[in-house]
Amino acid sequence: MDKIQTTYTGRRSRSQWVRSPWTLTIVSLAIIWFFHDAFVSFGAANVGSGGEAAAVAIWDFFRSAETVTVVDFNKRTGAPAGSLQRRLRLREITPGTISRGDFGKWVQEEATISKERLLANIADENLNNNLHSALGVVEGAPLASPSRVRPNYFYQWVRDGAITINTITNTLLDQPEDFNITLAGTVIKYLKNVYVLQRLDNPSGRFDEDLSGLGEPKFMVDNTAFNSPWGRPQNDGPALRAMTTMNFLQRLNSQGMTLEYVLKRYRLEYGEESLEVPFQNEQELFDKVLYYDLMFIIKNWEKEGFDLWEEIVGIHFFTALCQLKALKMAEYLLTKGLLNPDEALLAILRETIGRMTTYISQDGGFINPHINFVVSTPRLLGQRSGLDIGTLIGSILTHDELGSDDVPAVAIPFNVDHPAILNVLYELTTRMLTLYPINHDRVNLNMGVGLGRYPEDVYNGYDTSEGNPWFLATSTAAELLYKLIYRHHIGARDLVVVLDGDNWQSAFWDLIFDGLHPTSKGGSSTLVIPFGSQAFNQTMRAIFNYADSFLDKIRLHVSNDGEMSEQFNKYTGFLEGARDLSWSYGSFLNTLRWRSTTHQLLALQD
């Protein structure tokens, strides 16, 4: 049959306009919109008469393009029954298993204990003479743990040490009016020790050839190499050291101090020969220490290495994000006058930063089109779920500035409010609620739970059998939530949640809201809670309580004298693994730093 072709010229007849598919669509939508308004008004005034059901039906038709704004969860009238505006509620968050007053008292007490025990793990004759003089630990060396048998953690791990010293910088050198020169000296002794370890030949390689030795994960406490078999190299160490070094320099600069001034003041306090170091100012520290960690990152960021748990080989989200953060911080320092400008180095940094950003955000496989959370090590997807608390640790370590960290000079992707980051917390929480029997008493309560490293974990703190919850993992969840509150407050940002049928954007928020699901199958909606509104304040308070409930879980499992080990048993809840783990105390302290900050913000809104 021949195709019928019709050519229209001049004015179209009415029938021709009506036959146009575009015209039919426009007319149909106009009719539906008219009845939508009518039915909504009619339904609101005729509850139980059938008008409300009709209104809901029309409302549902438009749900695929709906934006819903809630300004007060206690005052929502006029919206049809069944609509998102009517059904959405804040979940009842149980903040703790004891009174708020008792919980606040425990937080203060445990903070004091954590500070004391963290500092007891760092060799410094002005802090604890025992480690240095009696046990031969080099000054400035942070111990992972004082445990020497079952398990032996009596080493200085590069990763743990950098995170520990960064905690001291953040939490104990935070007040310029009460600057602790002794602790500043402890940090400087650590940096002197970094200088030595960088140049020490070890199984990972040498300093004077290709810097490969900087990928060595741990050393003996007397600054000799650890020569036994281990998971090496670990490429996150230099990045974490660089971040710690630059954070210390920035902290001094923000308080109007120079490294030269701090050295002089320390020597006045403890004697002229009390602090002999190979650098006397910021530039020398950069040239002799920081530069080499940065160059290691530039040379090795595309190479595989072991993950932060020292178990698997690949390119890991945690490592990549920390490497990017270190380079961004270096670029910032080199352009802000704290260091001598180096255009050649800046060019290399910027070129590498661009490539790394693209890799992390797009090409690295960390975002998978079939999974709604960040994949920690893409090459192992299929063997493992891809979930790992290390992903959240990477996010909070690289977004740790008080004040806006959205400044282009230092901003990096995957902040704490990124849906793929929040969905990691959602998945870990919901899976480990049932995975660990010690969490089962919270199944019917909307509370934080004890979190472990990853669902497939089999390390029990001594050998392999079954994984347990970790103190540092559980603290990480709380810190991320406090930072989520802070980020919305400091930026005066509306809370915007995209509701999609596959929970790509909104899975986490199901922990906070009841009745939060897409408004039409296959469609999406947007929930907007305006900054400063009653609903915003109510939501932020609910998130704060939820964060506190993770700390309450920690409270239940520390020892009677406040000790935190590495883990707590998944069945009994008792301490497990290395005792007095520095990272456990440091994570808890940094979490409290953000809790205090957000508590003050919430107090202002009440």
Least confident of 237-246, 380-389, 408-417: 408-417
93-122+365-494+530-606 and 128-357: same fold? yes
Contact 278, 292 (CB under 8 A): no
- Residue 396, token pair as written in the block: 């909070």
- Residue 292, token pair as written in the block: 């080499």
Q: Identify the three-state secondary structure at position 305.
A: strand
Residue 513: CB atoms within 10 Å: 23
φ, ψ of residue 367 in degrees (nearest 5): -105, 120
* E strand segments, 152-193: 156-157
**In b/e form, how buried is each residue of 284-318, taking b as 16+ CB within 10 angstroms?**
ebbebbbbbbbbbbbebbeeebbbbbeebebbbbb
**What does the alpha-carbon distance between residue 294 and residue 62 come to, in Å, rounded to a whole number?**
53
- Residue 89, token pair as written in the block: 């509620």
Q: What pLDDT is recorded for position 341?
A: 86
Confidence of residue 83 (pLDDT cuts 50, 70, 90): low
Contact 324, 412 (CB under 8 A): yes
Q: 550: which residues sit within 8 A by CB, 6+ positions away?
A: 448, 449, 451, 474, 475, 477, 478, 481
Q: What pLDDT is recorded for position 58?
A: 32
**Average pLDDT for residues 85-94, to the nearest whole number?**
83
**What does the alpha-carbon distance between residue 60 and residue 521 come to, in Å, rounded to a whole number?**
10
Q: What pLDDT is recorded for position 209?
A: 84
**What does the alpha-carbon distance between residue 66 and residue 36 come to, in Å, rounded to a whole number?**
13
Model confidence over 23-34: pLDDT tens digits? 444 444 444 444
Model confidence over 544-572: pLDDT tens digits? 999 999 999 999 999 999 999 999 999 99
Catalytic residue IDs: 307, 310
pTM, two decimal places: 0.88
Sequential DSSP letters for 495-552: EEEEEETT-TTTTGGGGTEES---SSTT-EEEEEE-TTSHHHHHHHHHHHHHHHHHHH
- Indicate whether 64 pLDDT > 60: no
Q: What pLDDT is recorded for position 26?
A: 46
Model confidence over 108-145: pLDDT tens digits? 999 999 999 999 999 999 988 788 878 999 999 999 99
Residue 65: CB atoms within 10 Å: 12
Which of 136, 291, 276, 325 has its CA nearest to residue 198? 291
Give the containing element (helix H, strand E) for 59: helix 51-61
**What does the alpha-carbon distance between residue 271 and residue 181 come to, in Å, rounded to a whole number?**
13
- Candidates 3.40.50.620, 2.30.40.10, 2.40.50.100, 1.50.10.10; CATH matching 128-357: 1.50.10.10
Domain spans of the chain? 22-62, 93-122+365-494+530-606, 128-357
- Indicate whether 599 pLDDT > 80: yes
CATH T-level assignment (fold) for domain 93-122+365-494+530-606:
Glycosyltransferase (1.50.10)
Q: Identify the three-state secondary structure at position 370.
A: coil
**What does the alpha-carbon distance between residue 231 and residue 223 come to, in Å, rounded to a whole number?**
19
Q: What pLDDT is recorded for position 171?
A: 86
φ, ψ of residue 470 in degrees (nearest 5): -115, 145
**What does the alpha-carbon distance between residue 363 and residue 366 come to, in Å, rounded to a whole number?**
8
**Which residues are paired to 525 by β-bridges?**
66, 499
Model confidence over 303-361: pLDDT tens digits? 999 999 999 999 999 999 999 999 999 999 999 888 998 999 999 999 999 999 999 99
Q: What percent of the chain has pLDDT over 70?
A: 85
Q: What pLDDT is recorded for position 86?
A: 65
